[in-house]
Structure 1
Amino acid sequence: MIREALPDDVPVILAMIGELAAYERVPEAARATEPQLKEALFGPQPAAFALIAEDAGEPVGFALWFRNFSTWTGTHGVYLEDLYVRPEARGGGHGKALLAALAQICVARGYERFEWSVLDWNEPTIGFYRSIGAEPMDEWTVFRLTGDALHSLAGSAPANGA
């Protein structure tokens, strides 16, 4: 069963984020707190949304996503930030069900794109994504600014913030 996350799900979502970070070999990178996640998902202006996969009433996976926007199509889309299914529940169709639920959100709302990133070394997941018809964007490279580089660039902005 796939359902929308509720505020009471924040602790289990946070735990699964930690499990995902460990799987991706960067457990120290998962620094979000329960209050941050609760505000992001359920505050007055939610920045993100989450779905929960359940098996026998127990959360076994989640998908955390937010809206993006394409200037080329003039429509919103879904960007999947995290998809995770606990190891003991893998192979049960939960990942595909979470992706299908997000695809349904896209179609119902007229969004034309559903996008996400995957680590190059994660061959089992890449194979899974290909099996559902997803295609890699081989000509694109993800860039990221964090830490000192982010602060340095922010400090170079004109005083008016433009």
Structure 2
Amino acid sequence: MSSSNKTHSTLTIRPAVAADAAIIHQLIVELAVYEKAEHEVKASVADIERSLFDKDSTVEARICERDGQSIGYAVYFFNYSTWLAKSGLYLEDLYITPEARGCGAGKAMLVHLAKIAVDKNCGRFEWSVLDWNEPSIKFYESLGAKAQNEWVGYRLTGDALQALAQQA
């Protein structure tokens, strides 16, 4: 998929490959800084390479480039809805570098991923956004996305996850 902005730059979205692990890691750290959670990034470049590109990986990634330079990434996986009896596409991360925002890259990535979801007959395309991230919320709503306010996300990590697993 390609598109042009006002300065005639070319956007390209392509599947990520193992050689992209370092740039994906760098962009993950940038995203974490933006989300005020840099201290939570534990993944190394090697971890990214293994988790995204090993043959048994259940996640996929895309790289967005402008004029051949990586300006963003998306990581996603397929989940399942019992109510729809269909898979869904869950967007784990979408990040465009601050200097590249406004050129249409974020929308191009979402369009690209929506096409993947439709081509795979997914019933849903979902993601989460921090409640303070007003620019992203407004952007997503402008595309027709709706907040799922009735659902509250829960997470088990670290000691709590280990403790529950040990009850088996």
Gaps of 5+ in 2: 1-11
1:150 aligns with 2:161: yes
SS in 2 for 1:148: helix
Q: Deviations over 1:13-57 (max 9, x none)?
A: 000000000000010111111222112221111121111111010
TM-score, scaled to structure 1: 0.94
Are residues 1:79 and 2:90 paired? yes
Are residues 1:2 and 2:16 paired? no
Q: 2:33 aligns with which of 22, 29, 45?
A: 22
1:124 and 2:135 matched: yes
Tell me how far apart the structure 2 counterparts of residues 35 and 88 of structure 1 sit (CA, whole Å). 27
Paired-residue identity, %: 48
Q: Deviations over 1:125-151 (max 9, x none)?
A: 000000100000010010001111111
Moved over 3 A (4+): none
Matched, 1:65 2:84: no
Name 1:160's counterpart in structure 2.
none
SS of 2:50's partner is helix
Report the Cα distance in structure 1 between the residues aligned to 2:92 and 2:120, rounded to whole angstroms: 19
What amino acid is aligned across from residue 76 of structure 1 in structure 2?
Answer: S
Paired with 1:14 and 1:81, the residues of 2 have a C-alpha distance of 14
Query: CA RMSD, aligned part only?
Result: 0.8
Matched residues in 2 for 1:14 and 1:119: separation? 21
Residue identity in the other structure for 2:19: D
TM-score after normalising by structure 2: 0.91
